[in-house]
Amino acid sequence: MGSITRGLSNNITTGGVILPAGITNASVSAVTSFANASGGTLTLLSTQTASASATISFTTGLDSTYDEYIFKFIDIHPATNNANFTFNGSTDSGSNYNVTKTTTFFEAYHNEADTDTNLQYNATRDIAQGTGFQQLVTESSNANDSNCVGTLTLFNPSSTTYVKHFIARTNGMTFGTYSHEGNSAGYFNTTSAINAIRFQYSSGNIDDGIIKLYGVKKS
């Protein structure tokens, strides 16, 4: 039995809890690899909950502390039927959300009746050097049991050298009882820092839902 195994076994309680003495610099440094160990620890920076909200804006937290930021959408519910869930960025701390961007959008959908499916690039949902809001979830249903979920990752928003890339993946129950997966990506075409992000529907309020902002620990 190796020294690490012996040392660890002597520091485990009968309930299976590892005592602090069982983990030391010496024991950890002797391990050559960790199964399923992953970098990029997420740090929760802020949480906002919608309640008949016209917009949800994150005007703090996006700075040089992290190179990567992740927004998570949880049970976003629209007040208006057939509205699109969208976002935009700001370079002036939220005074304006009109950053020039170039984006792509492809989608997969399938209806509850199992009569309509598709996987396609949708050029009507992308932006070519425009300043408008980018679609994340399209044609959302406002049925009582309808919602949408997803993530948006923003890379190195504080860079003053490069454009700022983003990647988003969402799924929602859309108008007409479809499961709709949206995949959008692109870049804010500016070398100014992106320091605020706003989410809103193309029509009507965000009736309910939670958006969380995480920073990804630098490697």
Using the structure block, give the residue that is written with the tokens 């990567």: 68
SS3 call for 19: coil
Using the structure block, give the residue that is written with the tokens 């700022």: 164
pLDDT for 93 equals 97
pTM score, whole prediction: 0.82
Q: How far apart are CA 118 and CA 31, in angstroms?
A: 48
Please give the angle made by the CA atoms of 191, 197 and 201, to the nearest 5 degrees. Answer: 130
pLDDT for 217 equals 87
> Residues 103-145: pLDDT tens digits?
999 999 999 999 999 999 999 999 999 999 999 999 999 999 9
**Cβ(186)–Cβ(165) under 8 Å?**
yes
pLDDT for 162 equals 98
Give me the domains of the chain, ranges plus CATH numbers. 1-37 (no CATH), 42-216 (2.60.120)
DSSP secondary structure, 67-111, as one string: SEEEEEEEEEEESSTTEEEEEEEESSTTS-----EEEEEEEEEEE
pLDDT for 218 equals 81
Other CB atoms closer than 10 Å to residue 152's CB: what's the count?
Answer: 23
Of the chain, the end-to-end C-alpha distance in Å amounts to: 34
pLDDT for 58 equals 98
> Which are the contacts of 118, defined by CB distance < 8 A and separation ≥ 6?
107, 108, 109
**Residue-wise pLDDT tens for the chain (219 aa)?**
455 445 555 666 665 556 656 555 554 445 444 444 445 799 999 999 999 999 999 999 999 999 999 999 999 999 999 999 999 999 999 999 999 999 999 999 999 999 999 999 999 999 999 999 999 999 999 999 999 999 999 999 999 999 999 999 999 999 899 999 999 999 999 999 999 999 999 999 999 999 999 999 886
pLDDT for 33 equals 44
